Structure formats: C-alpha cells, structure tokens
Amino acid sequence: MRLSRGFVPTLKETPTEAQIASHRLMLRAGLVRQTSAGIYAWLPAGWRVLQNITRIVREEQDAAGAQEILMPTIQSADLWRLSGRYDAYGPEMLRIRDRHDREMLYGPTNEEMITDIFRQSVKSYRELPQNLYHIQWKFRDEVRPRFGVMRGREFLMKDAYSFAADYDGAVIEYRKMMLAYMRTFQRLGLKAIPMRADTGPIGGNLSHEFIILAPTGESQVYYDAAFERIDPASGEFSFDSESDLARFYERLTTPYAATDEEHDPAVWEGVAEKREGRGIEVGHIFYFGTKYSEPMGLTLAGPDGRPLVPHMGSYGIGVSRLVGAIIEASHDEAGIIWPDSVAPWKAALLNLKPGDSACDAICMEIYARHGGDLLYDDREDRAGVKFADADLMGHPWQIVVGPRGATNGRVELKRRASGERVELTLADALARIA
C-alpha cells in the first residue's frame, strides 16, 4: 500500500484516555479508533493484524481436527433458559428485545447454541468425537471498559466446542486443544504457560487458562523454567497419537506454574529453576462433562442402543485481545515491534526523497515486485517523520532508500527488533527479506 493513498492515520500525540502501552500504541499507530465506550473500529493496519492472527488460530484449529462453522451474534433467550444461565448471567449480558418483544441477547459465549445445533443434527455415538469452532464477535457489557481492545465490550473470540462419548474421549479432545493452543501462541511470537484454573460461570471439572508473558502484564506469574524447554511444534507431539497427547499434557501440567492469586510459596520453595514475570490471559479451556448436554436433552443412540449423553468441553482464545497482548509483549519506547507472523506489512519502504529520480526508480522497482507485503512511505515529508512512523508502526523490516545510496543502487535495511542496519545492493536486500 502507498501510504500517501492509504488510510493509516498515525498520531503524534499520546491520547490521554489510554492507560497502557498497547492501547496508546494501537491508537497512535492508526490500528483502531474507538466508536463507543469499549467498542472499536479496526482500520486497515489493525485489520491486517487481526486477520493474520485469525489465520494462524484457524490453521491450528484445523490441524487439530476441529471444524469451522459460524454461529450468529444474536441468540434467543429461550436457549439460555434451558441451561439456567439466562438468569444466572449478570448485567454483562447485553439483553435485547426485538420488534415482536421477544427476548434476545448478544452472545457472550455459545455453549447453549452449539448444544442445540448438535442435538438437531447428530443421532448416533458413531459420529463422535467432534469439535466445532467459530471465530465470531461477542459482547460483554463491561461496567468500565478500559485498556483498549484488552478489555473491550465487542470483542473477537475463537470458541471451540467438543463432544465425546465419555470422560476418556473428552480428555483426548481437551489435550488436542491444549497442543493446538501452545502451537498457536508460539507462532504468534508469544511464550504461553497453561495454569490450572477455576471454571467460573462456564462450570465443570477441569480447566486451564493460558497466560502469555509480557513485561507489562496484568498479573505476576511464577513458573518452572522447564516450560522454556517445551516446543509444541517440534514434531514430537502429534494430534493423532493418544500417547503423544498424554505425554504433552504431562509435560505441560507437571512443572510448577501459578499466578499470584494461586501462588503457593511452600511448593515454590522446592522448584529448582525459578522464573518470575508478568502475564496476560489470552485463552481458557474447560471440560464440563454433561453440564449442558443433559439439561438441554442432547442424547444420542449409544452402543447397544442405550441413550448416551455426550461429554463436552469448550475452548476460547481472545483473538482481538491478542492484538493488545502481542504489543504488550513486544514494544519499546519508539513503538510496536511486530513478530513477523502477524505484522500488517512485512516491511516499510521509506523513500527519503520523493521526486528524486534515483530514489523513485528504486522504490518503484521494489514496490512493483513486493507491493502487497510493503507499506510504501511515498509521502512528501521529512525523513525524521518517516523513521519515527516506521518505528511506531513496528514493521519487522525497514527498507530505506536515500539519494546517496540510490545513485549507487544501494539501500539500507533495518531490522526493527534488533535495530541492526546494513547497507546492501537492492538485490541482496530483497533476498534478505524474502
């Protein structure tokens, strides 16, 4: 995209309403604009990041054998009465009456709806196990929305729902999601640690939340250095092998890990290699047995024809929250430092002297070849402005084309994360980025 023609409204001033780094940087870098309290519009750069994260989440869900669907945002209150949650859910649920005065709601989660869809469609235990997921906007009417997209009201979530014949089958689905989550966060450039958690309003017997490490995170975390040696994408763990999944689960759940709320200094004492840091919750998984399937009448024909009530689990990732979380984990004084996998553009192309024929020619050659991956800063602005905006926006690479180098066919390549700069021929620079 050519920046002179693009809708990338960066801000020089720090917006006063933003209390945390990611919120400030998302506004300043032109990723989002607030449209109401806790509700945001995603501008082109922010939308590209959100799409990149969505794609990685989707690929890992698919790899784990989950199937993508899309459930609507608006649900009937009647469904939630079947589970008893319509009254149990507090004022965070956005309740709506339609023109016929029917009670509806903007879904904060989908256990009831997926159970109802499954009940209409599946008749036999032979069709188990299944895991269905969607990536859809949710609404939680927070009293005080804050921290930008980290605690907004309308937010994008990936939620998956598994159905299995019994406890043992449900545990396999749970472990698959655990592996998928660890692979997902690793691809997003994050270090994630699963922690045993309360089940809260979802209910159930087994639950883990996934905390990613970020220096400005919301809670203190204590963990065993053993986590640093787990590579979920090593090929050592396959979704198709029950023993791999069991081994992975053990590796993930045996070493010590706790947030400050759950921290146990006596046990911590015995951990050989201690690590501490700050963390942000970005995922939460639940096994809850027949909590929804039973009251909602989801009964299949079991082996021997006896009725079988499936055991369920649900698995959430805060997709829009992750944009903020990644920035919290990866930024400096000058701005965002995007991991390559989620950056809106792979590189910024900085033309330091638009109108100079050598600069323009080199830039056009690069842009013609890699236009889709580049943000071409062709604005008639001072070099200092361009450098500052590129650092702020956090492109993994900057290709700097100035009049001196351009006449010799040379450009400067800067890696945002390390600050390393090298002067290269055009061909070498292109090869380096690709």
Distance separating alpha carbons of residues 148 and 158, to the nearest angstrom: 19
Complex with a second copy: residue 66 or 352, whichever CB lies closer: 66
Distance separating alpha carbons of residues 235 and 232, to the nearest angstrom: 8
Query: Counting contacts by CB under 8 A, is residue 43 touching a second copy?
Result: yes
Q: How many positions of this chain bind a second copy (CB under 8 A)?
A: 52
Q: Which DSSP string do the residues of 247-291 spell out, in sequence order?
A: HHHHHHHSS-EEETTT--HHHHHT-SSEEEEEEEEEEEEEEEETT
Which member of 16, 36, 234, 243 binds a second copy (CB under 8 A)? 36
Query: Counting contacts by CB under 8 A, is residue 359 touching a second copy?
Result: no
Query: Counting contacts by CB under 8 A, is residue 141 touching a second copy?
Result: yes
Which member of 12, 13, 16, 70 binds a second copy (CB under 8 A)? 70
Complex with a second copy: residue 256 or 376, whichever CB lies closer: 376
Query: Counting contacts by CB under 8 A, is residue 41 touching a second copy?
Result: yes
Contact 202, 111 (CB under 8 A): yes
Which member of 15, 72, 297, 403 binds a second copy (CB under 8 A)? 72
Distance separating alpha carbons of residues 122 and 340, to the nearest angstrom: 41
Complex with a second copy: residue 301 or 426, whichever CB lies closer: 301
The encoded tokens of residue 230 equal: 């787990």
- Per CB under 8 A, the segment of 96-104, 214-222, 292-300, 356-364 that binds a second copy is 96-104
Query: Counting contacts by CB under 8 A, is residue 243 touching a second copy?
Result: no
The encoded tokens of residue 236 equal: 């050592």
Query: Counting contacts by CB under 8 A, is residue 68 touching a second copy?
Result: yes
- For residue 369, CA distances in Å to 373, 374, 420, 431 come to 9, 10, 24, 12
Which residues in 151-210 contact a second copy (CB under 8 A)?
153-154
Nearest to 366 by CA among 383, 382, 378: 378
Complex with a second copy: residue 123 or 274, whichever CB lies closer: 123
Cross-strand partners of 308? 300
Distance separating alpha carbons of residues 50 and 338, to the nearest angstrom: 12
Question: Looking at 116-236, which runs of residues are DSSP E strands?
Answer: 130-139, 154-164, 192-196, 206-213, 219-224
Which member of 63, 130, 309, 417 binds a second copy (CB under 8 A)? 130
Residue 137 CB, nearest distance to a second copy (Å)? 6
Q: For the chain, give the longest Cα–Cα distance.
A: 82
Query: Counting contacts by CB under 8 A, is residue 89 touching a second copy?
Result: no
Distance separating alpha carbons of residues 162 and 175, to the nearest angstrom: 11
Complex with a second copy: residue 63 or 430, whichever CB lies closer: 63
Query: Counting contacts by CB under 8 A, is residue 9 touching a second copy?
Result: yes
Which member of 84, 124, 137, 216 binds a second copy (CB under 8 A)? 137
Contact 105, 93 (CB under 8 A): yes
- Per CB under 8 A, the segment of 109-117, 307-315, 362-370, 400-408 that binds a second copy is 109-117
Query: Counting contacts by CB under 8 A, is residue 16 touching a second copy?
Result: no
The CB-side HSE value for 392 (13 A sphere, CA atoms) comes to 23
Amino acid, single-letter form, for residue 313? G
Which member of 25, 57, 113, 193 binds a second copy (CB under 8 A)? 113
Q: Which residues bind a second copy (CB under 8 A)?
A: 1, 5-7, 9, 30, 33, 35-36, 39-44, 47, 50, 65, 67-76, 79, 91-92, 94, 96, 98-99, 102, 104, 106, 113, 116-117, 120-122, 130, 132, 137, 139, 141, 143, 153-154
